[in-house]
Every structure is written in structure tokens, then in C-alpha cells.
Amino acid sequence: MITSSRPQLTPLALFGGTFDPVHKAHLQVALTVADTLHCPVTLLPNAAPPHKDSPNTSAAHRLAMLELACAPFPQLNVSDWELQQPGPSWTLNTLRHWREKHPQAALIWVIGGDSFAQLHRWHEWEQYASLCHLAILPRPQGATAHPNVLAAFPSATADVVMREQSGRRIHLAMPSMDISSTRIREELATQQYSELLPNSVMAYITSHGLYGVAKQ
């Protein structure tokens, strides 16, 4: 479903994840979305991701690291809304919440290319098109999305996405970054350091002795 009424509010992008820990690629994605769509981006650490293993680090630590990483960038915001909700962090519930808060705005959900390819398996994904657009990240050797998903979210330009409220997709023009939090956690455990982390996040990890790093 494509809604064409003109939004009365600035478009809003939502970027969810475990952020365990947040790293430079996460920030680059969020900043690219903000620059491409000329809108603020809200990053949402989740409590219990239904499609992934439970986070390695507490919600409080992940939230604190995310706030430190985003602090230099006024276009980036952090919300603990998902952390406050009971049960699995279903994307549908998050989209409904933000749609209720911003009923007339263009709402964009940032999603990785690998997740986009599996979207047809997600909980009640068919409802997403009436709630949001999709901003899709490039992934190395990414699989093709299901035809039903492609039909539900026709491709559009940034201008169209900003004018309409939901039901379109835009593929972000940025280099594919094959960086994972799993790799970073392994580096931290073995090397006590990762250059893929913002300095503020690395300092926080060291000061709290997270991910096998010796506390200092």
C-alpha cells in the first residue's frame, strides 16, 4: 500500500539493532540515511531480537555506548523504547508506535540487504507497507528479496520517499561494509582493542571491562 497524502512533519528514519557494540559502520549507515533523506535518524537498541541470539552485553551498557557514539552528530538520536518493552523486539510493534506518534510523517525503516532478502519470513511483514518505507543497505553477495516483498515496496527515489508516508523502498548508495559486531567482539577478546570502534566506545569498553577487555 502506498499512501500519498503529504506528510506534515519532517521525515523520520528508524535504525534498529542490538548494537553489541555499536561500531563505525553503524554510524556510517545512519549518517548516510540522514544525508540521503535529509531527516533525523533514531537508533533503537533492541532488548530481545526475535531473529538473532540474545545480546552479549546488558541493555544499559549497549544504550550508553550508543549514546556516546551518536553524541557528536546532531542528526542522530537514540531511543530506549524497545528496551522498555516486554517480550521479543518485534519490528511491527516499533513501527506501530512511531506511526502513532507521527501519523502524517514519512517513516523510514533502515534494513540490511540480508534481512530484506528474508523479510517475507518476518512477523506480519505484510503490514509494514502501510506503516513505513524501507531504506536498504547494500550487502556483499546479497540475495534477492521475495517477489511479494518487491511488489509491496516498489522502488523509488529519495524525493518520492520524502513526499509519501509509506510503502516504498530505496537502496542506499554507499559502499558495502562487511563489518560485524561478532568480528569486533572477537578482536576485543584477543587483541583488547578494535579500530572499528569510535574512540568513545572503546574507552567505555575499557573502563567497564566489557567483551573480555581488561578493565582499566
> What are the residue ranges spanned by the domains of the chain?
12-177
> How many angstroms separate the Cα of 69 from the Cα of each of 86, 108, 213?
26, 21, 19
Distance of CA 35 to the CA centre of its chain: 15
- Give pLDDT tens digits along the chain (216 positions): 444 444 446 899 999 999 999 999 999 999 999 999 999 999 999 987 666 667 889 999 999 999 999 999 999 999 999 999 887 888 999 999 999 999 999 999 999 988 999 999 988 999 999 999 999 988 766 678 999 999 999 999 999 999 999 999 999 987 766 788 889 999 999 999 999 999 999 999 999 999 999 998
pTM, two decimals, is 0.91
Q: Grid coordinates standing for 166?
A: 509509506
Q: Hey, what amino acid is at 61?
A: H
> How many angstroms separate the Cα of 168 from the Cα of each of 92, 128, 143, 153?
16, 10, 19, 4
The CATH number for 12-177, chosen from 3.40.50.970, 3.30.160.100, 3.40.50.620, 3.40.50.300, is 3.40.50.620
